[in-house]
Structure 1
Amino acid sequence: MSSTSSLSREECHEIVKRHLNTDDFELAWFAVAPLSTDLKGFMGDHLKLRVCVSLGDREREGAKTTELQFFVKSVPLDDIFRRNLAMSTTGYQKEILFYGDLLRDVQKHLLCSEYEASVYLGTVPKCYYMRPDLLVLEDLALAGYHMLDPIKPLDVRQCECVLKALARLHATSIVFEEREGRRLADKYPLLTEESLFYRKPDSQLYMAHSANRRDAHDLLDLVPRFAPGTPHNRNLHSLLDTTMESVYELLKPSDKYRNVLCHRDLWLNNMLFAEDAKGELSVRLLDFQTLQLEPPAHDVVTFLHVTTMRDTRRAHGRQLLEFYHQTLAEVLCQHDLNIDSILPLQVFLQSCEETEPLAVVITVYMVQIIMLTLQKDVDLESYVSLRKDFVKYAYQHNERFRLRMTEALEELVETCLMPRLREQQR
């Protein structure tokens, strides 16, 4: 998309006005263009808005002009399959809610600067404009933020950076509920509705998940430990579908643990990192279409499984969980709230342990998506429904995909399938 049809001149004027906090400017020109020629996401087009404005006295000769730049996320316009996929979910409604009414509700209780309150304690980009089909956000690239290699696992330092942001995001909903004396779910029922993993057989997302499950059968046979002829091969296949389908029940608000505002889609394409002159690392979280009220462990444990290797989790997993909890405690303390009365450490650790099967299942779904590089002109509809040979070829010839997929399937077998098999054999 290279025209300016997605935004009007009046809308661009309003965006600049909110960015500059003044109406003392004249809009010279604006242009909207794709952010990249590469395909970045199934659910939206990523665009760049460039605006040239004249500042100050408009009558004076030589008035200063400056060019501003913004990030635009739009419902897919040119790809009918992707557009229908995006519009079949509640994702865009949730993102509009997140940057609109929900933000106004939570920020009035946050004890921080106006800017920090407007970006959920410094965890997300600032939003300047929204429509049901479009968001205009600050362009974080101008501040040095960039995307990491989505198929390279994170190290401990990077994990701590994300967990710190995640704790701050989660804290915003806790502060709201404690101050208001009511649950966000009561005011915004949309936050309890699933927008990614839901069981509607005629939906495109469900068909995509079904393809994930079919491919998991083929991939399981390619893992040497579980190949045809090994002791448990047939039994593992018999349990695979029901185990992976358990995600539909596991991803729900909890009646047992405190629910918070969860991101629910924490892989590396949904976060941008920056490092300052002192070497301090920071991150901003993106894409809130899967926003959900669930236990914080759902975000924390799934994030660690999707973005790190098992060796990292085994060596540093407890440390990282305690780091998240300590950060959450500090933010709540700044708001005169006691973590021990809201989410004690042992309760949080127990919820993390119970979340492990969910995280393992989601990782099998996710690795099939995030580890496979698609060409920008790929026919997504055909890819989703007819990708069997592509996935098998990738496992056999792409070493990084094979390593991550093998580990994900081994953990699925060890954490979920074998316990079920042993239970059946009793």
Structure 2
Amino acid sequence: MSSEGILSPSEWRTVVETCLGTSQVDVLKISVGPLAGEFGGFLGDHRQVKVKVLVHTSKPPIGKELAFFLKRIPDDHPKHTEFVTSCGAFNKEIGLLSKLFNRFPRTSIPWGPECYFTRPDTLVLEDLIEQQFRHVPRHALLDYPHCAVFMKTLAVYHAATLIFEENQSKSNNEKFKINEKYPDLTYELLFAYEGTGKFLHLFKSSVDTLNSIIDLVPKYKDNENVLRKISEKLSDTLYQQFELSKPSKKFRNVLCHGDLWVNNVFFRYQDDVPVEVRIVDFQVVRYCPPATDIMAFLHLNTGREFREANEEKLLLLYHTSLAEELSKHGYQVDQLLPWSEFKESCEVYRAFGRIIAACYHHVNMLPKRFLDEHMEDPYEHERFLSENRAHVVAVAWEENDHYRGRLLDDLTELIDCMILGVESNSSL
């Protein structure tokens, strides 16, 4: 693909100068190609860009090849373009990168990719793959080393929110909250009755689908009384997500990522051990307690047995890392998010993780042939996400042991703990 029509020569020059920190550079050649990988993302057209430059900060000048990740509003199909522009996710990420993240304090470790350029339809970031970062396979269940390094990084990202708010409160001599100053960047996109309705249709169809597949679960299917109780309560239980996604009136809120499944997390390794993390795709951020991100990450990317064995250690690691980062900026965790409050919030927002896992996994854990059939064409993509998907889920459930296992894990925990066990979330 030619670079023409994506960015102008002067815009590419801005990208290069921002990356290198100098204007003493000649841009020689720009090559734009597709981004490798399965299921790269529907809410943007993703490209890898290679730029050959000549840097004149030394004599003789030095030739370099720079690599960038480019995301833009897709123009491959009018239906695709309309979906992405109308749902608001792309605009939200552009706004965060250009108006807010660049005001956040510099933290002890990076938590996201460097951003070099934004305009309303395009953003250019550092290419994490060139920096030796990579995804884990989307079906993978993460082990403790992956979760541990992620928790440290997530804590630093959340700390940036707290530090920014506290610094702004001091400067303005009044309480500062990000959601009040930046309502256009922090509004709820996935679980809200307001807005364009794109994601509301998706959620409603998820509720319909999950109600339709409960009788696939062996432990429930032959018990009419249990099935009746599940049928009466499942929809209301799932719709708790709309309250759980709002800013809390009780717990401290931060700018949460909101979509922490493995496709939005990159790891870098040394001797096959994960040592660094970068979080990407800030399109559905929300302003709510850190526990929503933590519980979503754990339920989306680990199994129930793993969580029961390791959750306490990971929560302590997160909180310790948060305390360390805050301390480096002159703040104490006991004043901003004490352990007792944090732990209580995790108990409350465990429900958030359970619900989002069931809603996500029946789609994004589908075997590849189902995704190719239903997610590639824009018309079919929107139809598939807007209708009851039980017929597709039932076939994948029968065919694929891993898929069936993930959904069984999600559904039995959700139902046992939130319906048959009757857990309350009244302390929001």
TM-score, with length taken from structure 2: 0.89
CA distance in 1, matches of 2:61, 2:231: 71
Aligned CA distance change for structure 1 residues 418 and 20 (closer, same or farther; 3 Å)? same
User: 5+ unaligned residues in a row in structure 2: which ranges?
Assistant: 170-175
Instruction: Identify the residue that residue 248 of structure 2 maps to in structure 1.
Output: 254
In the alignment, which residue of structure 1 is the partner of 2:401? 399
The equivalent residue for 1:176 is 164
Are residues 214 and 271 of structure 1, via their aligned partners in 2, closer, same or farther at CA, if it must alter by over 3 Å? same
Q: What is the alpha-carbon distance in structure 2 between the residues aligned to residue 93 and residue 148 of structure 1?
A: 27
Relative distance call for 1:192 and 1:137 in structure 2 (3 A) is closer
Number of residue pairs matched by the alignment: 410
Greater shift in the superposed pair: 206-215 or 78-87: 78-87
Structure 1 stretches of 4+ moved >6 Å: none
Measured against aligned partners, the alpha-carbon deviations of 1:351-380 in whole angstroms (never above 9, x if no partner) come to: 100111121111111112320131274431
Distance 1:37 1:263 in 2: 22
Is 1:145–1:274's contact at 8 Å kept on the other side of the alignment? yes
The aligned counterpart of 2:326 is 332
Q: Is the 8 A contact 2:15 2:117 kept in 1?
A: yes
Aligned partner of 1:383 in structure 2 is 384
Q: CA RMSD in A?
A: 2.4
Q: How does 1:24-423 map to 2 (within 5 A)?
A: 24-36=24-36, 38-56=38-56, 64-107=62-105, 110=106, 121-181=109-169, 182-199=176-193, 203-227=197-221, 229-276=223-270, 279=273, 281-372=275-366, 373=368, 374-375=371-372, 377-378=376-377, 379-385=380-386, 387-420=389-422
Distance 1:227 1:287 in 2: 39
Distance 1:37 1:124, change over 3 A: closer
1:360-405, Cα deviation, whole Å (9 max, x unpaired): 1111111123201312744312332454322211111111110010
- Contact 1:329–1:338 (8 Å) recurs in 2: yes
Q: In structure 2, give the amino acid aligned to 1:53.
A: V
Q: What secondary structure, in the 3-state scheme, does the structure 2 residue paired with 1:142 have?
A: coil
Deviations 1:185-233 (A, max 9, x none): 2321234411122225972322222221121123211011121544311
Paired residues of 1:328 and 1:339 also in contact (CA < 8 A): yes
Distance 2:67 2:86 in 1: 30
Q: Point out where structure 1 has 5 or more consecutive residues left out of the alignment.
A: none
**C-alpha displacement of 1:69:** 1.4
Counterpart of 2:173 in structure 1 is none
Residues 261 and 292 in structure 1, CA contact (< 8 A), matched pair in contact too: yes
Q: What residue identity is the alignment partner of 2:282?
A: F
AA partner of residue 402 (structure 2): R
Does the CA contact (< 8 Å) of 1:4 and 1:32 recur in 2?
A: no
Change in 2 beyond 3 A, CA 1:51/1:421: closer
Given that residues 245 and 286 in structure 2 are in contact (C-alpha distance below 8 angstroms), is that contact kept between their aligned partners in structure 1? no
Q: Residue 37 and residue 278 in structure 1: after superposition, are their counterparts in 2 closer, same or farther (change >3 A)?
A: closer
Partner amino acid for 1:168?
Answer: V
Letter in 2 for 1:220: I
Amino acid aligned to 1:56: H
The DSSP-based 3-state class of the residue aligned with 2:26 is: strand
CA contact (8 A) 2:25 2:53 kept: yes
Cα pair 1:360 1:408 within 8 Å, conserved: yes
Whether the 8 Å CA contact 1:207–1:385 is kept in 2: the answer is yes
Change (3 A) 1:204 1:185: closer
